[in-house]
Structure formats: C-alpha cells, structure tokens
C-alpha cells in the first residue's frame, strides 16, 4: 500500500506571555479542549495519558465521526507532536516547537503537515490552520496568564479569622448583584439565592479557572475551562469529581442595614 505523502501546508508563529512551565502544563491538559475551546471541540474522551503526553478520542462541532488524537512530548527537544491516528484527518501531524524567551514569555512555532494535499489546496488549508491556532493560542494564553497570576497571589497568607469587608447598605448591595470583591487577597462573588445573600470563591479549585461570570443554574456554577461544577451555597462538587470550592466568608447584615463580608 502506498504511504501517503505528507505536505507542509503552513507555519504559525507567535510569542505567548506565559512561562515554559505553564505551556508544558497546558499541553498535557487534554481535559480543557471542549471547555475552554468549545467553539473548536465538542467532546473528548481520554484513552491514555502520562508525562509522555496523551491519547484521546475527540469530536469537533458538527462532525459525524470522532477522531483519535495523540500528543507526544519531546521535552529535551522543546517540542511536541500532535498526530491524528484515526478518523477524519488521519495521518495529519502538527509539530510545535517551543523557545523560552524570558521567565514569562515563550516562543511558539507550529508547522501543519497534512497527507496527500493537492497543490491548489495548500494555501487554503494553511490559512484555515493559522486562523484556528490563532484562536486556540489566544484562549490558552488567557488561561495560562490567569493561572500564573493567581498561583503567585495565593502564596500569600490566607484570610484571617474575623477579617471583614464593608459592603455598604444592603439594599444598595442587592441592587448591583452579582458583584465580585476581594477579601484576604482572595476573590469572592456575592449573589442572591432565594432571598439569601451568598458568597463563593471565584477560583475553581481544579486549575484556578474563572467563576466570576459563570452562570448560576439550579444553585450551581460551572467552570468554563474544564466544566467542573459546584454547589454555590456549600462549595461542594456536584459532578462527582470530588473537588470543592474554598470555604467562603459569610454575608452579614447589621441592624442598621449595612452589609459586610466576614471570615469565620
């Protein structure tokens, strides 16, 4: 059987504002694809994973069939290879080379290798891949930068017992809900559930994902990065994955109608 001819259809290059450590972490994070990149991936099911990389079946939006993707890290060579080994696009390889620029910047060079491409399709395919990877790396960069920011800030002391933040008159607070505030160096979101003012952490415990704007449905909130779900009132997991939000301060209403956030 004739072996398909692999053709380079294009190269994408950029510098992302994230350390090499954060980039490697991102490469190994197969779970975020249908969450953070929901416009590009509809679902994923892990087959195998380890320090070497991962293999998974995934589906793109509107696709009739799944594809099997394998990502293999070559850390010493500062590169990794993403190969489609089954399904649509079988034989495609995407080679990504990394180049540390500073403690907070990493150069990215991505080459797209596709089997049996006619010369007239090379330009169109290359443009499509570059547009896709621009969007994917934009989203990844935002995730890595937020994670790095909060990893650094959470090294500080935890909120002390009795720490208080004045929230103003309770009726004024209710009028602008939901709101996000900081107390003890941590961000908290205040909302109202069935007439009760409730605070909860806006940092998903899985990877410090953003919960500050996530919709609250049936008393639960879902992280947009990896789709972990939590009960707002208790912080407990409601998806069976076992994590829980950090214990939240309570909203206290004084006799004079002023509200405050209090760490118990």
CATH of the domain at 247: 2.102.10.10
Residue 159 belongs to a domain: no
The set of residues, in sequence order, having a beta carbon less than 8 Å from that of 174 and lying 6+ positions away, is 192, 197
Segment 142-196, tens digit of pLDDT? 999 999 999 999 988 888 888 999 999 999 999 999 999 999 999 999 999 999 9
Does residue 137 share a domain with residue 207? Answer: no
Say yes or no: 14 and 72 in one domain.
yes
Round to whole Å and give the CA distance between 89 and 129: 13
pLDDT cut 70: percent of the chain above it = 98
- Mean per-residue pLDDT of the chain: 95
Mean pLDDT of 70-77: 98
Average pLDDT in the 86-112 region? 97
Residue 204, domain extent: 164-262
On the question of pLDDT at 59 being above 70, the answer is: yes
Q: Is residue 50 part of a domain?
A: yes
> Looking at the structure, do residues 32 and 128 belong to the same domain, yes or no?
yes
Residue 13 is predicted with a pLDDT of 98
Which pTM does this prediction carry? 0.92
The pLDDT, as a whole number, for residue 160 is: 85
What is the mean predicted confidence (pLDDT) over 81-110?
A: 97
Q: Which residues contact 84 (CB under 8 A, 6 or more apart)?
A: 67, 68, 69, 90, 91, 92, 93
Q: Give me the pLDDT at residue 201, please.
A: 97
pLDDT of residue 159: 81
In three-state secondary structure terms, 31 is: helix
How many residues in total does the chain contain? 264
In this prediction, residue 116 carries a pLDDT of 87
- Which band of pLDDT confidence, cut at 50, 70 and 90, is reported for residue 3? low
Q: Are residues 130 and 49 in the same domain?
A: yes
């Amino acid at each position: 059987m004739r072996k398909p001819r692999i053709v380079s259809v294009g190269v994408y290059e950029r510098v992302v504002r994230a350390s090499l450590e954060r980039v490697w972490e991102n490469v190994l994070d197969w779970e975020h694809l249908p969450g953070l990149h929901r416009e590009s991936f509809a679902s994923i099911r892990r087959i195998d994973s380890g320090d070497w990389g991962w293999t998974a079946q995934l589906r793109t939006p509107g696709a009739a069939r799944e594809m099997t993707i394998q990502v293999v890290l070559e850390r010493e060579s500062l590169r990794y290879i993403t190969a489609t080994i089954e399904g649509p696009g079988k034989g495609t390889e995407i080679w990504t080379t990394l180049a540390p620029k500073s403690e907070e910047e990493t150069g990215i060079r991505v080459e797209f290798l596709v089997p049996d491409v006619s010369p007239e399709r090379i330009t169109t395919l290359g443009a499509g891949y570059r547009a896709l990877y621009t969007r994917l790396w934009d989203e990844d960069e935002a995730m890595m930068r937020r994670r790095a920011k909060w990893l650094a800030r959470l090294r500080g002391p935890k909120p002390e017992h009795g720490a208080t933040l004045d929230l103003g008159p309770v009726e004024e607070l209710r009028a602008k809900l939901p709101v996000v505030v900081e107390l003890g160096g941590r961000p908290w979101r205040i909302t109202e559930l069935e007439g009760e003012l409730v605070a909860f952490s806006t940092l998903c415990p899985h990877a410090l994902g953003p919960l500050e704007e996530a919709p609250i449905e049936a008393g639960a909130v879902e992280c947009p990065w990896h789709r972990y779900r939590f009960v707002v009132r208790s912080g407990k997991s409601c998806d069976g994955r076992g994590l829980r939000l950090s214990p939240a301060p309570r909203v206290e209403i004084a006799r004079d109608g002023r509200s405050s956030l209090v760490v118990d």
